[in-house]
Structure 1
C-alpha cells in the first residue's frame, strides 16, 4: 500500500492539503507495520508447529528452553567459568599489569592504595621478643637473649631494604594492592643460621605445586625469570632461569635435590602473603581489581562533563545578520575584540564567543530542565571505587561532599577500621612466621647464637623449637591504635591500673611509652632493668634554678607555682614571702608530696607517713634515712621488691 502522491511546497509541506492529511497518513502507516509483524509471527509459529518444537505445547519443553537460554548465553557461561576455574598464569600477569598501570595513571586508584598503606603502615609497628637475656623473675637462672637475635635480623641493611624500612613496607602494601600477593625468600646460611630476606615478583611465580590431597597446602613455588648479566665487554646477556622454592612450612623427612627435573633451593624457603584469595584458589587477587572498571568509568564521566562544559562555554552572545551583511558583522566583531567568531565546522572557537546566524536562524542550548549536569552526578561511580578498596568515599575524594561534614572526612568509620585491622593481622601473621624461622635457624645452626633443640612433632609433622633454659620464644607485634586517642586519658588509665598493685613496673613503663608514642621502646626498657631482671627506678634529675625551687617547694608542702621571682606586689613594695603550711614538718610534707605524685613517687596507704603537725622527725636506728637523703623505697610501686638491706641509699 503506497500513500498517494501530492504536490509539496518548496519548504516540504503539503501544498493545499487539508489539516488532517498528516494524521491520516501516520495512522495508515502504523496499520501497515502491525500487519506485517502479525504475518511474520504467524509464519514463525506455523514453522514451530510443523517441526514439533513448540515451547507452548508442554511444561517440560518450556523448562528445557529456559535452561538452554541460561546455559547457552555467553555471559552466564563466562561467569560460571570464572567461578569454577582459576585465572591462568598469563591472565594473572595481564591483570596485574592493568592494576599497576591504573595505580600510576588513575588518581582514584593511586590515592586509594596510598590511603590503605598509610592506615596500615603509617605509624609503623614494633617486633619484640619477650626473652631479652635478663634473669628470670622466679630466680631460676638466666634466659637466652632472643631479642638481640631478632634485632640483628631486623637492623640488617639488606633486610631493611627488603622488608622493614618505611619504603619497603609501603611497597609491600602496594604489592598487595596491584599484585594481590607477596613472596619472600629466606636465604639461610646453614652454619651460622643467618637469614637474608629477599622479595620475589609475583609475575615470576609461574606455578604453585601443592599437596595432591590438599590444594591449600603448598609444597613448592616454581619461579621462572630472566637473568640479566653483563659480559667482559659490558654487553647485556639474558638467560632464562627456573628454580623451585619450598614453602617455609613444608618440611619433608627427605629433601630431594630435584623435583620434576627442576632444582630445589632448600636453603631459601618462601613465605607467601596473599590477599583476596578465593577459597580453593592458589593465587591472590589485587585489591584494586574490583575498582579498576569503576575508576575508568568515573574518568570517562569527568571527561564527558568537561567536554559538555566546554561546549556550553563556547558561545555567550548571539548576533543575527542577513547573508550579505555577515562578512561586515564578523569584521566588526573581530575589530572589537569579541573573540574568535568563526562559523567554519571543525575550527576552534574561544570561550565566550559570538555566534553569527542568518535571519530566521536560531542558536540555543538543549533544555536542561530536570537534567543534572554537575560534577556531583558522578559521585556514585567514585563510591563504587571506594567500596572496592574498603575506604570511605569522603577520604578517597578528599572532599566531604555537599551534604557531608569535615569531621566525617577526617575520621575512619568502624567498618573501615576493621578492614585496616584485618590487613594488619595479615602482616602480623607474616612477621611472626618470619621471625620464628629466624629463631629456628639460629638454634639449628651449629654456630648459631641460640642453643636448644629442633624436633619434629609426631602428630602434625611440624618442627617444634625448644630453647635451653626454658627460654620463651614468644614474639609480640605491637601496632599503634588507628584512632587518635588522647594520651592523657591513656596515662590516667595506666596510673589507675598501677594503683591496683598487680602490674609489674616493666609493663607499666611499656604502656606509658606506648601512650606517649615513643619509638624503640624496647631499648629504653632494657636499660631500665639490670642483669638480674630488677627494675632500676629512676632518680630525680637535678633541675636547677626555678625548676629545682619548684621541686623543693612541692616536697616542703608549698605551692610549686610560686617558684621563681615570687608573686607580684605593688610598685615599690617587695613581694611577701611564701611560707610552707604551718604545722607540717618538712619530712612529712616531702613524703606526702611523693604520694601525691602518683605513679613512680607514691607509697601505699598503709605506708604513708603521718602528716600531723610537728617538727621533722629525727633518724632513729641503723636503717633510718636522714632528711635530705634519697630513699629508693619512695620510688617503687606497691608490690615491687624492696632493695636489699645492705644496699646503700644513693644521695641526690
Structure 2
C-alpha cells in the first residue's frame, strides 16, 4: 500500500539522503581551476562587485562603455571570400535566434566586467545552423581541464537554481566537437596570467579606487553642505519669567530667506555656523 501511493516520495527522499552522506555529491567551494587562479569565493565576489559598480557607479559604467566603443565601434563584420561559406556566415550572423549585430556589444561589456565569456553553441542537426547563448561567469564555479594541458578545457560546471545540488556539466569543444547534437561551451578569457584558466575583468583592479573616490566625493558633499549651514541664536536682554518660552514659540518656525525681521534693542540675532575652513577640507 505504501509503495503504491507513496513510492515516488519515498524514492526521492532516499536519493536526497544519499546525496547528503555520499562524498561524490559534495563539491569543493574554494577550489581553483588553475595553479594561479583565485579561489572560487574570491572570483564570485569580484563578479558581484564589478556588476554592482557598473550598475551604480557612472565612472565604472563609462569605462566599460569606452572599451566597447573602441573594440566594437560601429559593429563587427564577418565574411568569407568563399561564396557558400559567406552565405552560411551571413545566415548565422543575422539569424533571429542569434542577432549577432546586437549581441557583440553585450559580449564586449561582459568581457570588460567579468573578464570571460562562456558561450554555449547549439547546433541544429537538420540544417547545421548554430545558435549561441551565454552563461554568466558567476554561474560557472568549476572548469575541468586536461591533466597534462591546462589550456585544453574539457567541461564546465554551471550552478543551477533548479538543481542546486548537482548543477549541470557542459562539454567543452574538445569533448563535444564530434557530436553535432551535443551543445558545447566556448570559453574566452582576457587578462589571464600564465597558469590561470579564469580571466579577470578590467574593472577589478580599480574597484577599490572607485570605492574610495566615491567615498571622498560623498565626504566633500557633506562638508560643503555643513560648511554653508547655519542657525540663528537669538539673545534677549533682561528677559523675565516666560519671555524665553514665548520667543521660542514665536520663532518655532525659522524665518525664510530674504525675510525682514524688526526688533528692538533687547533682541539680538547672531548667525552660528560650523568653523570649517579651506584647510579642513
Q: What is the TM-score when the length of structure 1 is the normalising length?
A: 0.32
User: Is the alpha carbon distance of 1:266 and 1:93 closer, same or farther for their aligned partners in structure 2, counting shifts above 3 Å?
Assistant: farther
Match of 1:155 among 89, 94, 107: 94
User: Where does residue 274 of structure 1 map in the other structure?
Assistant: 189
CA shift digits 1:78-103 (9 cap, x unpaired): xxxxxx75222233222211211121
In the TM superposition, residue 217 of structure 1 has moved relative to its aligned partner by: 2.4
C-alpha contact 1:184 1:200 (8 A) present in aligned 2: yes
What displacement does 1:148 show?
0.8
Aligned to 2:169: 244
Residues 314 and 127 from structure 1, CA distance in 2 versus in 1: closer, same or farther, beyond 3 angstroms? same
Correspondence list, 1:60-459, <5 A: 85-132=36-83, 145-160=84-99, 164-166=100-102, 168-190=103-125, 192-227=127-162, 242-248=167-173, 250=174, 267-315=182-230, 322=237, 324=239, 327=244, 337=255, 355=270, 365-368=275-278, 371=279, 373=281
CA change 1:85–1:271 in 2 (3 A) is closer
Contact kept in structure 2, 1:183 and 1:273, CA below 8 Å: yes
On the 8 A contact 1:245/1:270 being kept in 2, the answer is: yes
Cα 1:367/1:158, change in 2 over 3 Å: closer
Q: Structure 1 or 2: larger strand share?
A: 2
Q: Show the counterpart of 2:27.
A: none
1:331 CA drift (Å)? 6.7
1:395 aligns with none
**Structure 2: tracts of 5 or more residues without a match:** 1-34, 258-268
Contact 1:245/1:268 (CA < 8 Å) preserved in 2?
yes
SS at match of 1:216: coil
Cα 1:364/1:94, change in 2 over 3 Å:
closer
SS of the aligned residue for 1:203 comes to helix
Q: Please report how far the alpha carbon of residue 219 of structure 1 lies from its aligned counterpart in structure 2 after TM superposition.
A: 2.1
Q: Provide, for residues 358-399 of structure 1, a one-character-per-residue CA deviation record: whole Å limited to 9, x for no partner.
A: xxxxx662443xx274xxxxxxxxxxxxxxxxxxxxxxxxxx
Residues 603-651 of structure 1 show CA distances to partners (whole Å, capped at 9, x for unaligned) of xxxxxxxxxxxxxxxxxxxxxxxxxxxxxxxxxxxxxxxxxxxxxxxxx
User: What runs of 5+ residues in structure 1 fail to find an aligned partner?
Assistant: 1-83, 133-144, 228-237, 256-263, 340-353, 358-362, 374-652
Distance 1:355 1:310, change over 3 A: farther
- Aligned to 1:226, the other structure's residue is in SS state coil
Distance 1:103 1:245 in 2: 29
Q: Which of 1 and 2 has higher RCO (CA within 8 Å, sep 6+)?
A: 2
CA radius of gyration, larger in: 1
The separation in 1 between residues aligned to 2:61 and 2:275, in whole angstroms, is 37
Task: Note the alpha carbon deviations across 1:411-462, whole angstroms, 9 max, x for none.
Answer: xxxxxxxxxxxxxxxxxxxxxxxxxxxxxxxxxxxxxxxxxxxxxxxxxxxx
* CA apart distance, 1:318: 6.6
Cα deviation code 1:47-77 (max 9, x no counterpart): xxxxxxxxxxxxxxxxxxxxxxxxxxxxxxx
Question: Given the two structures, how large is their TM-score scaled by the length of structure 2?
Answer: 0.69
> When the two structures are aligned, how many residues end up with a matched partner?
233
Q: CA deviation at 1:123?
A: 0.7
Q: CA deviation at 1:190?
A: 4.1
Structure 2 distance, partners of 1:176, 1:337, is 56
Q: CA deviation at 1:128?
A: 0.8
Give, in whole Å, the separation in 2 of the partners of 1:273 and 1:220: 14
2: distance between equivalents of 1:273 and 1:323? 82
Contact 1:245–1:265 (8 Å) recurs in 2: no
Residues 205-260 of structure 1 show CA distances to partners (whole Å, capped at 9, x for unaligned) of 22111121222222222233234xxxxxxxxxx67664433332x2699x8xxxxx
Contact 2:176 2:182 in 1 (8 A): no
The 3 A distance-change label for structure 1 pair 188 and 252 is: closer
Q: Is the 8 A contact 2:119 2:187 kept in 1?
A: yes
CA distance in 1, matches of 2:123, 2:199: 26
Equivalent residue number for residue 410 of structure 1: none
Whole-angstrom CA distance in 1 between matches of 2:197 and 2:270: 63
Cα–Cα, structure 1 residues 355 and 106, in superposed 2: closer, same or farther, change >3 Å? Answer: farther
Q: CA deviation at 1:265?
A: 9.2
RMSD, matched Cα: 3.4
Residues 1:127 and 1:311: Cα distance change in structure 2 (over 3 Å): same
